[in-house]
Amino acid sequence: MGDAVPSTTPRFAPSPPSSVRLRGKAKPNPRAFWLKQLHTWHWVSSAISLVGLLLFAITGFTLNHAGSIEAKPTVESPAAQLPPPLARLVRPDNAPDTKKPLPAPVAAWVADRFSVAAGGEAEWSGADVYLPLPRPGGDGWVSIDRASGAVTSEFTDRGWISYLNDLHKGRNAGGAWFWFIDVFAGACLVFALTGLVLLQLHARRRPSTWPLVAAGLLVPAAIAAFLIH
């Protein structure tokens, strides 16, 4: 056997010079970057606001037709008697009329007896203590006779349509719903503005874009200017 002839073919191809690698690298495209970002913000904000948009769209219709949607409110008027130890906490005194919460034990008893949140401010007069209990879709109150400890109340339920309408208006819905509306409004704003920019970026291939946007502005403006008195 003859001596092996060493191979002249390198096992690995040498890396190209750095200058060649730099020349071959694609340049960043700002338009593509911002288009990707806008699409991301658009779909995230639409996902956050989707259920809220459905709720506010449906209740916008029910509010607009509130006069033709019949409501059948139900009224309940349960009564009770404060136990003597609690009645002593609300006995008449010479203090002027004021607004302050019920004593904690009395508030706990009212909350348990009537299944309500009784921690709000009550109206104290010489004769009674009146606790208003407004709520979405209804109303209510509890009154305590300061001399006898007799408790009367009234609760009105106007139905689920009225409940949703009050959520639309933020009426008597509490602090958590107040903040939800703010977050929802912010998500809708992002959704609308990113949609507007995306319309601008794609408008060249969609000639009807700006006429439709203009119609969305001019139609309600014309109705407000000429048909609302």
* Strand-pair partners of 138: 135, 157
Say which amino acid occupies 109. W
**Whether residues 98 and 153 fall in one domain:** yes
* pLDDT at res. 16: 55
Residue 81, SS3 per DSSP: strand
Among 157, 192, 217, the domain boundary falls at 157
In a domain, 19, yes or no: no
Average pLDDT estimate for 152-175? 94
The residue type of 162 is S
Asked whether residue 125 falls in the same domain as residue 101, the answer is: yes
Q: By three-state DSSP, how is residue 12 classified?
A: coil
With H, G, I as helix, E, B as strand and everything else as coil, classify residue 75. Answer: strand
- Identify the DSSP state of 82: -
Whole-number CA gyration radius for the chain: 34
Q: What is the total count of domains within the chain?
A: 2
Q: Does residue 229 sit within a domain? A: no
**pLDDT of res. 14:** 57
pLDDT one-digit tens code per residue, 99-140 = 999 999 999 999 999 999 999 999 999 999 999 999 999 999
State how far the Cα of 208 lies from the Cα of 210, in Å rounded to an integer.
6
CA distance 148 to 74: 29
Residues 100, 143, single domain; the answer is yes
CA distance 153 to 132: 10
Same domain, 62 and 82: no
* Buried/exposed code over 198-208 (b: 16+ C-beta within 10 A; e: otherwise): eeeeeeeeeee
- Same structural domain for residues 113 and 53? no
The answer to whether residues 94 and 48 belong to one domain is no
Question: Last residue of a domain, which of 157, 187, 218?
Answer: 157
Task: Lowest mean pLDDT of 22-26, 74-78, 212-216, name the range.
Answer: 22-26
User: Residue 222: inside a domain, yes or no?
Assistant: no
Q: Is the pLDDT of residue 17 over 60?
A: no
Does 7 reside within a domain?
no
Per DSSP, the chain holds a count of helices (H) and strands (E) of: 7, 7
Phi, psi of 128 (to 5 degrees): -150, 175
Nearest Cα residue to 88 out of 146, 128, 144: 146
Domain boundary among 157, 190, 215: 157
**Residue ranges making up the domain that contains 127:** 74-157
For residue 151, tell me if it sits in a domain: yes
Give 65-78 pLDDT, tens digit per residue: 988 888 889 999 99
Percent of the chain clearing pLDDT 70 (strictly above): 88
